[in-house]
Structure 1
Amino acid sequence: MRIIAGKAKGHRLKAPKGTTTRPATDLVRGAIFSILETTTGDWAQVLDLFAGSGALGIEALSRGAGWVDFVEHKPRCCGIIRQNLEKTKLTAQAHIYCCSVAKALSFLDKEYSIILMDPPYSNPSI
């Protein structure tokens, strides 16, 4: 898995091991950002829910987002997001909230120009 475009293009990202987290593939991320780049002009504040490896939010930062808030409840994944941000030198433009999405939504009071969500499909409560 790698960053597709922008200032961090080509950087390989770590992904959580196992089958409980499945990062969005390069092809899927490419399609998402192709649509966003033609329809969205404001990339100032981005929210990445169910962030997993952080691939979606880091792709947004690489393509010019001003700030990304990552929300992920698994501590192991939060560590991987941190490592991926450090590797791509984008740490200064991000914050990682290691808590449930429900909890984060109860206190995040920013207006976001883009909200990215890649929830686990095995969780029927979402």
Structure 2
Amino acid sequence: MRIIAGQFRGTALASVGKGDAGAHLRPTTDRVRESLFNVLMGGKFSDPISGARVLDLFAGTGALGLEALSRGASEVCFVDDGRKAGSLIRENIRLTRSKASTRLVMRDATRLPVWDGAGFDLVFLDPPYGKGMGERALATAVAGRWIAPGALIVWEENAPQLAPEGFALLDQRKYGDTHVTFLERDANDCR
């Protein structure tokens, strides 16, 4: 795995290796990540990355958030409760020298506390496939004020996802067995 573009372009990220079977790490492949960012930067979404505050839920290796940071996001908050994931994210932050622009929250993304900062503009949601954790994490993040009204959500799953209440479906793409659903939070939703 490597960073595809931007200031960290070409940086090799820490290898997941055989990993920890219990960690359920399934990093987004370079090909899918490149395609996903091509969609984001392709004009349809009016550059949602430059200056964005990014939330990477079920962050795993942190590759999605670090790719956004490399391409101009102002900061990234990684959320994952796995020990192996935490270790990989810390190493990848070190490799990209991005500690000043990142934060790691070691929490279950489906049980987030109330966030005391400004909501995030761009959210990557990459839960374990087929377990219904994505919708629970999204609901918890909204209730806890983690997600700004009008935020763009990029949700990876093994099937296309429906837009939950308070979100509009913008686009869906399929890359092999990965389905990416693009949602926008209602700009008037002040929950």
TM-score of the pair, normalised by structure 1: 0.90
Answer yes or no: is the 8 Å Cα contact 1:15–1:23 preserved in 2: no
Cα distance in 2 between the residues matched to 1:63 and 1:21? 24
Q: 1:11 is paired with a residue of what secondary structure?
A: coil
Aligned pair count reads 124
Where do 1:1-126 residues align within 5 Å? 1-16=1-16, 17-19=19-21, 20-37=24-41, 38=43, 39-43=45-49, 44-104=52-112, 106-109=113-116, 110-121=118-129, 124-126=131-133
Identity of aligned residues (%): 39
RMSD (CA atoms): 1.5
Which of these two proteins has the greater Rg computed from alpha carbons?
2
Higher strand share: 2
Larger RCO (CA under 8 A, 6+ residues apart): 1
Distance 1:18 1:2 in 2: 21
Unaligned 5+ residue runs, structure 2? 134-191
Alpha-carbon shift at residue 113 of structure 1 (Å): 1.3
1:48-79 deviations in Å (ceiling 9; x for gaps): 00000000000000001000000001022111
Measured after TM superposition, the shift of residue 3 of structure 1 is 0.3
- Counterpart of 2:143? none
- Distance (whole Å) between structure 2 residues aligned to residue 30 and residue 10 of structure 1: 12
TM-score (norm 2): 0.61
User: 5+ unaligned residues in a row in structure 1: which ranges?
Assistant: none
